[in-house]
């Protein structure tokens, strides 16, 4: 059984930044990259809002640069996936998909969150070519163009309003005959002249030669007056929520009702001593690379302070 002083589970901006800071603090961290090395940014086509990159940089390129920086330090990087945990006592116990087991004194959870998709094959086909799950990340590329947002909650309304400040036209595709968002968000959407809400509408697919050129839609699916039609658009934004990758840490780690890890206000500390959460797995609000990187820094600094007490 291998014992690790500082274990980091997950990569992406949070995991990689935590590894850099932990190594600089002589914690000899071991980082497991997990099922998607580099995190969600590896499916982002272009990034223009990460500091230090005045020219657009692709998500995969940015994450490769971060990984290269990690490799300069005393960090052991492994590609295995954590499949089971026992956090009932210290040192904490972890199992991986290659049948290996480790224990750890300090743990930084940076497993991220996964955007929810409709389950259409076209979503994968056009990912990074017109399909996005982050308006804040990719909205700028649709300046004065026509886009669609899928969803009816506060997140979808917020994305639609954000895009309305950039795009020429925004369609909000809502499966139900009403919006689930709070009243103030509903009012803002309904009163925005750039936004058109398509109630009782489902997406059947997407089309386009070199990227998204439109969506195949159906109005009142399964009803007597069902109508199928094509809607020309340049971008298709999913805003039906994110699923935090926190399942393997339950029932020991406190989470909110949707699974995001709860941290003590202003810190990466969880309800268990020596376990810290960084990045999107503990962030239902911002979900930005620069925020995740900052939280990874905080987690490593807190891990260093915790280890000094042992």
- C-beta separation of 115 from 136 below 8 A: no
Burial per residue of 4-17, b for 16 or more beta-carbon CB atoms within 10 angstroms, e otherwise: bbbbbbbbbbbbbb
What is the set of active-site residues?
134, 137-138
């Amino acid at each position: 059984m291998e014992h690790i002083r500082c274990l980091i589970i997950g990569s992406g901006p949070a995991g990689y930044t935590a590894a850099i800071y932990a190594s600089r603090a002589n914690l000899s961290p071991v980082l497991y990259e997990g099922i998607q090395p580099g995190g969600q940014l590896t499916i982002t086509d272009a990034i223009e809002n990460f500091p230090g990159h005045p020219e657009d940089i692709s998500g995969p390129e940015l994450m490769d640069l971060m990984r290269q920086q990690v490799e300069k330090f005393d960090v052991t990087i492994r590609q295995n996936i954590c499949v089971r945990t026992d956090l009932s006592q210290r040192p904490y116990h972890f199992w991986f998909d290659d049948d290996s087991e480790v224990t750890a004194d300090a743990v930084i959870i940076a497993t991220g969150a996964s955007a929810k998709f409709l389950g259409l094959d076209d979503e994968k086909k056009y990912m990074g070519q017109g399909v996005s799950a982050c308006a804040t990340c990719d909205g700028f590329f649709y300046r004065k163009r026509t886009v669609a947002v899928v969803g009816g909650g506060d997140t979808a309304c917020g994305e639609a309003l954000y895009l309305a400040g950039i795009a020429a036209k925004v369609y909000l595709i809502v499966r139900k005959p009403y919006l689930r968002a709070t009243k103030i968000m509903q009012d803002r959407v309904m009163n925005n002249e750039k936004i058109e809400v398509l109630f009782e509408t489902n997406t059947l697919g997407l089309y386009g030669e070199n990227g998204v050129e439109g969506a195949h839609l159906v109005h009142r699916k399964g009803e007597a007056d069902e109508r199928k039609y094509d809607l020309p658009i340049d971008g298709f934004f999913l805003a039906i929520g994110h699923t935090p990758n926190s399942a393997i840490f339950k029932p020991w780690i406190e989470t909110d009702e949707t699974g995001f890890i709860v941290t003590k206000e202003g810190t990466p500390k969880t309800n268990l001593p020596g376990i810290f959460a960084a990045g999107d797995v503990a962030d239902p609000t911002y979900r930005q690379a620069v925020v995740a990187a900052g939280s990874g820094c905080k987690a490593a600094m807190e891990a260093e302070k915790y280890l000094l007490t042992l």
